[in-house]
Amino acid sequence: MLRAAAKIPRRGCLYRYKSSVATTIEDPASALSAEIKRLRHIRNVGVFAHVDAGKTTVTERMLALAGIVHRAGSVDEGNTVTDWLPAERERGITIQSAAISFQWDWHNNRKGDDYEANDSVSISLIDNPGHVDFSVEVNRTVAVLDGAVLVVDAVAGVQAQTETVWRAMTRPSLNNHNPVEHTVERQDHAHEPLPCLAMVNKMDKEGCHFGSAIASLRQKLPGANPIPIQIPLFRSSSTNKAGIFPYGVVAASANDDAAGGGLSGEFVGLVDLVHMRAVLWPESSNVSQVENCVPQTIQLLQPVTHAAVDPDCQVTQQALSARSNLIELLADCDEEIAELFLAEQEPDNATLRMALRRATLSRKALPVVTGAALRGKGIEPLLDAIADLLPSPLDRLPPALVCLEQGQNSSEKPGSITVGHPLHPQVLAFAFKVVHMKGRGGSGDGRVVFARVYSGELRERDCLRVLSPPSPGERTVVPRIERIGSMLELAGGRFDRLESGVCRSGEVCALVGLKSVVTGDTILMGPEKGNKKQQKKNNSLICLAGVAAPKPVLKVRLETDSTEQQTALLDALSLLTVEDPSLVVEEVESSTLLGGLGELHIDVTLDRLRREFGINVRAGSPSVSYRETIIDDMETAGLCNFDKTIGGTRMQAAVHLLLEPTWGDESEDESACMLLFEPIVAVSDRAKTYLGLDLESSDEDLMLRSELFKSVVQGCQGAMRRGPLSSYSMVNLKCTVLNIEAEEGLSSLQAMPGSLRAASANAVATVLSENRSLCTVLEPTMSIEVSLPNDYVGTVLSDLSSRRGNVADILVGETGTNRVASKALVRGEVPLVGILGYSNSLRSLTGGEGAFTAEYKGHSPTSISL
């Protein structure tokens, strides 16, 4: 639950917080100190994973341990807190990200282990979808989180969507904020990639292998440096001296070998390598009840001498070896541990824990824990690790800010905190998600806005200014004035009113009554009475960069039974596109086209139209979103003349331009996939000079101030919306206008800018039609991963070949080991059109035992005629 407190005055000596360890404050007893302490105990964390890796089960167990629910829900039973949509509970998957807040007692510090005061943390947890069709949910939650938990299947290791969410967390574009030219301060104020923990889940599953899962983290996630801070314990049939452990309990290794990391037997617990203690969970038939899963803790070392309690114990020996490996790996990431390692000194628990925290915050290490969430094992240590290792809002840099007013500079003094820092008094919040709930929102459509407050505080009845980030070349949008009706606490699908009515910096909240807010909007404090100087400062036009939604790759045609139903359909789709920016609705030829990221995405949307809005929709067959591009340079033969008389008015201009592909340098293989980018239009200095434009001005300024420049750019862009081969939109090319001339001089163009627009469009169309052989059609290509029994590999490979698939990797399950021997894994690339409806075909080919996941990889040149 979000907590309320008084507004913090600006006082004392403030320094920018890169770490919560080093802080300088003049008055430790001030309200500022209390505010810093509050912020240090906040964790905004997201749970990410591939489909069916167990992230929702992990979340549900966390809520049960925190006392939010009396018993942990089950995905199979459809009674989880965070999967609250009917479609989620029926399909057993997460479709919408769901947020919930709770308190967690910090177990590592409860007995005074260097942190007696830090006994509880407030965790705002967001459970994210694992299916690629709902990747927009991942993109916008990554933008507001401070840390992440990556859940990995102990059998499958890193899978396709695991790699996708890893890229979302660590991509160099600094989450959703694209550094732009005009920022309040330097570009390093953009959001950093997320520090992360990894959990190897499903250690109770047949064929689990802790070492292989860690090896897959190292091999498949770029920049990941997995460091195991736990090792699993199994009850094995081997003869093991009982000692301080129950008979038969042995420890696995983190190494990638069958003898160490893949022990067979019942998963019973783990060893915490930082504190050198074993945690054993009892077996219970009712694991949903937290009271039946209270673990037993066994210390492996003496408290004073640090000597082994039982030197001959296999668990102790394996734990000492794993701890030595942990220290050695950490020495490469942290200078303090490196000094102790070289001096052959053993770090104490607090030193090791703080070094792990520093390495995690700097993303030099990926701490790895283990567990079996379905059995209620391993979640308490995971929550402790979230508190110990993941960042608070003070450990993160302020977000990137876009200045919307010319000549506006930062008013902050050098060395002071900036807008967006959690200690800054000015309100800055980001609307990262919008849902519609009947009877909840004050806007008539039930709109509820989820927002992250970066600085300042929001209260019920506050008057706000809402700004949408402008598109390139677009004039600054006038701020919209809104008022908060009420606030809701974060509780998954249960939305109760927030009693305190206040959301402070570093927290996430749900706002009711905002009628026009959409995903990506920036929220600032509205006009205030009082000090004019302070009012002017608070009214400065700054905004966050927003969230970019992936473009649809699939479209279906929608039909209804009546005109009344058609009107209701358009109204419902307008609400759904506000909730999900990756949905695109087009009205063409008296019909409605719905675009999405895949078949499941479209199916879920149609299901919601029927359930929530009562609209009976008929959908046509899916159609793939094709594009066109060029494979080589093409240039007009000098000036391409356009001369027409329309309505007695002569429109004449000549344009010389060059088209260049922007994807040829990415790969020498023409069949390589490429991500799509809109065409770039540039105007040479020679053409600008002829038009009398200022060469020092940016293209963005010229688009706003010069009608001639705008006409040239829009003419080229309009012509590239229809390619020469199949009339698909052109992508991934650059159009450079080299020269412009007019028979009657510049004055004729100024009097009739439309002639310049028509001439530039004509030049693009002419050069494309004359060079059709240098054009190609692009089709969406999917990265596919098929899991199937060994006996059906040949059949599936033959089928993929008939679908124009390109198989890159085949892993056949080994027999005679403790791994899952009957399963094979096939990875490759297949055109999207080739796998429409593939689920039914795969089940038929494999006797119902095959499963696959597909992720959009990019568009690639097609070899078939369309």
Q: Distance (Å, rounded) from C-alpha 772 to C-alpha 537?
A: 56
Which pairing describes strands 823-831 and 463-467: parallel, antiparallel, or unpaired? unpaired
Q: 524 φ, ψ to 5°?
A: -125, 165
Radius of gyration of the chain (CA): 30
pLDDT score for 494: 60
Give me 579's structure tokens: 């909730």
Q: Give me the pLDDT at residue 413, please.
A: 45
Phi–psi pair at 309, nearest 5 degrees: -65, -40
Which SS3 state, helix, strand or coil, does residue 669 take? coil
Residue stretches of the chain with pLDDT short of 50: 1-26, 28, 110-112, 114-116, 174-189, 258-260, 407-415, 529-531, 666-671, 816-821
Q: What is the pLDDT of residue 414?
A: 42
User: Collapsing DSSP states into helix, strand and coil, what is residue 680?
Assistant: strand
* Three-state secondary structure call for residue 506: coil
- Write down the pLDDT at residue 364: 93
Calculate ∠ Cα 855-857-859, nearest 5°. Answer: 130
The confidence score (pLDDT) of residue 529 equals 45
What pLDDT shows up at residue 440?
A: 57
| Closest to 299 (Cα-Cα) out of 119, 120, 121, 113 | 113
Q: In angstroms, how far is the first alpha carbon of the chain from the final one? A: 56
d(CA 858, CA 851): 22
SS3 of residue 186 by DSSP: coil
pLDDT at 598: 80
Cβ count near 303 (within 10 Å) = 7
C-alpha–C-alpha distance, residues 585 and 565, integer Å:
16
pLDDT of residue 852: 82
Question: What are the structural domains of the chain?
Answer: 41-395 (3.40.50.300), 402-524 (2.40.30.10), 554-625 (3.30.70.870), 629-770 (3.30.230.10), 779-861 (3.30.70.240)
Beta strand 366-370 pairing with 402-403 = unpaired
**DSSP assignments along 726-767, one per residue:** TSPPB-SEEEEEEEEE-TT-HHHHHH-HHHHHHHHHHHHHHH
Whether residue 430 contacts residue 481, with contact meaning beta carbons closer than 8 Å, is answered with no
Beta strand 447-455 pairing with 806-812: unpaired
Nearest Cα residue to 811 out of 829, 799, 824 = 824
pLDDT of residue 2: 31
